[in-house]
Structure 1
């Protein structure tokens, strides 16, 4: 497939290498971390319980979250200035790593562009690769039920941003065979995700799965140690939880994931309650 001069210029301005099968091999990336064993479940509750039980709200201390192993690179100017249509075009045109050779299409994101909630997942799977939308397989169905239990939807046509969710992945292309994302692949896609977050301006971020957590919090700590706390990403409250694909094979942790969603809802409700007080 050929690429226009504009697309080449855009990718070069973003410091992204255009993938070529004959390019000299780069230094071998560190071995990919092994995924946590991933989880056959019944459904999440179709409506919120009469009384939600969530962990006490507390900010994460410096001791609870290891210091970042690396600092996110500043967004290239070419990405910083992109609006939604231009960003979508840049993602669709990206040939920055070898995943462009095997993908059917890129998986950009879905939902209301100014939603109060933003869900960040890991990498597209086979069904996402076919449809070009994140979380559309069994894991996506579970996620939709989880969100619906809090009155939330990925539907972009709603009128209340507080009930809308924007969903994106750390990786915009499917790794072959659904393997773990490689560090270089995550690094190449990071500017796109950072710009999506900047455009949405969410009031709460839900990081789902190990690689989403690593990308946003710059930590190798297990999810079990990061749950139940309120982290931040560039000033935005962030709550860590398990990926729905994991929950599909690990039924007992569904209750923990529900508690994580309730914590995120409490954080958002608390922020909304504080806003009028600050204004007064």
Structure 2
């Protein structure tokens, strides 16, 4: 009877301990859990965080640096031709810098090369360029003139042809403007002629060439005359009367200085 009681008591005690969560056998010798934790292998050190990527270069800051470092027109053309931030460069055949006589009294700024300009690497050589030559010849100016008094110097805001002859985007013009400003400073014309809306937007921050044309203003420290683009005149022949009036305005200005 005593033995049965003892066994029943022991079974009850074991069941009670299991309910309390003591369901593992305990060894005969004590275990130092702190020593076990100290001897456990330490986790491998995590790899150092990767260095932050260098910030992308600002296209306008880069063009300012390159333009400012050009001591002459040849160096400026080389710096601009090597400029890599403008995507128009990838699809263009040729870099189009300028034509005519650097140092001429009149510098013409157009928009961007078209198909013919892209093929030949010169500004204003297509139908619009032929009309431009006729227009300025009417007041005695020519890009081919050996006489600097009668010479003409021609360039564009953009040196690469936009796909499909689309208008240059604002960001594309912004990255070219330091080159344009340096170009004007090195060519040092007496008068700057802006042909059409795009150069007016880039240089003057204004659009609406039919309102702006024929009105003298200032930019880059030079007198500036906005005029209708020859391509516009080819589409709107009646506007040639206004273009002729602007040419006479230019001629008068040159005679007075």
Contact 2:101–2:143 (Cα < 8 Å) also in 1: yes
Q: 2:61 aligns with which of 15, 31, 43?
A: 15
Q: Indicate the structure (1 or 2) with the bigger Cα radius of gyration.
A: 2
- State the TM-score, normalized to the length of structure 1: 0.68
1:81 paired residue number:
69
Contact 2:143–2:154 (Cα < 8 Å) also in 1: yes
1:42 paired residue number:
none
Q: 2:202 aligns with which of 194, 197, 215?
A: 215
2:162 paired residue number:
175
Runs of 4+ in 1 over 2 A off after TM superposition: 11-16, 75-78
Taking only aligned residues, the RMSD between alpha carbons, in angstroms, comes to 1.8
Deviation at 1:12, TM superposition (A): 7.8
Tell me if 1:227 matches 2:213. yes
SS of residue matched to 1:248: helix
How many Å separate the matches in 2 of 1:129 and 1:79?
23
Deviation at 1:98, TM superposition (A): 1.1
How many Å separate the matches in 1 of 2:101 and 2:224?
19
Give the stretch that moved more between structures: 201-210 or 222-231. 222-231
1 or 2, which has the higher helix percentage? 2
| Cα deviation code 1:124-143 (max 9, x no counterpart) | 10110011100000000000
Aligned residues: 200
Tell me if 1:94 matches 2:83. yes
| Cα deviation code 1:42-66 (max 9, x no counterpart) | xxxxxxxxxxxxxxxxxxxxxxxxx
How many Å separate the matches in 1 of 2:106 and 2:214?
18
Task: Pick closer, same or farther for the CA change 1:100–1:234 going to 2, 3 Å.
Answer: closer
SS of residue matched to 1:105: coil
Larger RCO of the pair (alpha carbons < 8 Å, separation 6+): 1
| Residues 198-277 of structure 1 aligned to structure 2 (within 5 Å) | 198-220=185-207, 222-270=208-256, 272=257
1:196 paired residue number:
183
Contact 2:181–2:220 (Cα < 8 Å) also in 1: no
How many Å separate the matches in 1 of 2:195 and 2:66?
28
Structure 2 stretches lacking a partner, 5+ long:
1-56
Contact 1:208–1:243 (Cα < 8 Å) also in 2: yes
How many Å separate the matches in 2 of 1:207 and 1:13?
24
Deviation at 1:205, TM superposition (A): 1.1
How many Å separate the matches in 2 of 1:228 and 1:122?
18
Structure 1 stretches lacking a partner, 5+ long:
1-10, 17-74, 273-280
Deviation at 1:91, TM superposition (A): 2.0
Deviation at 1:14, TM superposition (A): 6.5
